[in-house]
Amino acid sequence: MDIGTIYAVRGFSEQFREFEVISNNLANVSTPGFKRDLYAATNAEDGCTVPDMSEGPVQHTGNDLDFAIQGEGFFEVQTPQGLRYTRQGRFLLNSENEIVNPSGHKLMSDRGDPIVVEDGPISVGPDGKIMVDGNELETIGVVSFANPKMLTKAGSNYYLPGAAAGEKQERPEGTTVNQGALEQSNVIVPQEMVKMMESLRTFETFQKYMNTASEMDTKATSEVGMLR
């Protein structure tokens, strides 16, 4: 296989992976708190994806247990696999009056405990403090990391921190919690569609090159056979 074909095969594979990333972004355009992935080709055999942590638009829902983080940071959620981090802010109360997400995973307070609320109207301030009938209960935990782009997606709109993400930090200054609202996906459909079309065109270019190279190899082999 000549060097041109090798590069074409590699480019073909990279475009296929980028197309998968774009398709997944578009599939999650309606997922609250979803962060689109960006594909980057590398010198390695496989490229890599990194999340775009820019904020999505905030949609007001009027639900007292919908929370949108405005600014940097993540909600901390206890799952059976351990702590996970998310921007998805849709919550509800379980049978024990704990605030949980739709999967039943518990929202953590700034002290690292599950949040239990009493009966009554719930009010949440911009600092995350929860009030019920004028009584202050807990504060919703919002944490950040030194390098959030290095967080690893762990399914279900969760993130896992690795060494590259840095140490967990307290709620960043200027970050607020908006009650009765949800942060929407930061996927911009026209932008992703343009990227998809560009990827398809590049994909087709590599495919044509590979077909041409294959035809030339077949022709060369045939002509060598005739000369013999």
User: What is this structure's pTM?
Assistant: 0.82
Q: For 13-41, what is the mean pLDDT?
A: 90
pLDDT beyond 80 at 159: yes
Give the count of alpha carbons within 13 A of 114, CB side only: 17
Q: Which amino acid is at 140?
A: I
User: pLDDT band at 13, cuts 50/70/90?
Assistant: confident
Per-residue pLDDT at 218: 63
Which residues are CB-neighbours of 202 under 8 A, at least 6 positions away?
Answer: 11, 15
What pLDDT, on a 0 to 100 scale, did the predictor assign at position 134? Answer: 84
- 61: confidence class by pLDDT, cuts 50, 70, 90: very high
Cα separation of the two ends of the chain: 23
DSSP summary character for residue 197: H
pLDDT of residue 198: 86
- Percent of the chain whose predicted confidence (pLDDT) is above 90: 63
Query: What is the band of 157 on the pLDDT scale with cuts at 50, 70, 90?
Result: very high
What band does 221 get if pLDDT is binned at 50, 70 and 90?
Answer: low
Q: How confident is the model at residue 76 (pLDDT cuts 50, 70, 90)?
A: very high
Rounded Cα distance between 69 and 166, Å, is 21
Residue 175 near residue 69, CB atoms below 8 Å: yes
Determine the average pLDDT of the residues in 174-187.
97
Residue 223 has pLDDT above 90, yes or no: no
DSSP string, 169-188: EPPPTT-EEEETEEEPP---
pLDDT value at position 212?
Answer: 67
Residue 8 and residue 108: Cα distance in Å, rounded? Answer: 49
For residues 150-176, average pLDDT: 92
- For range 171-178, the mean pLDDT: 93
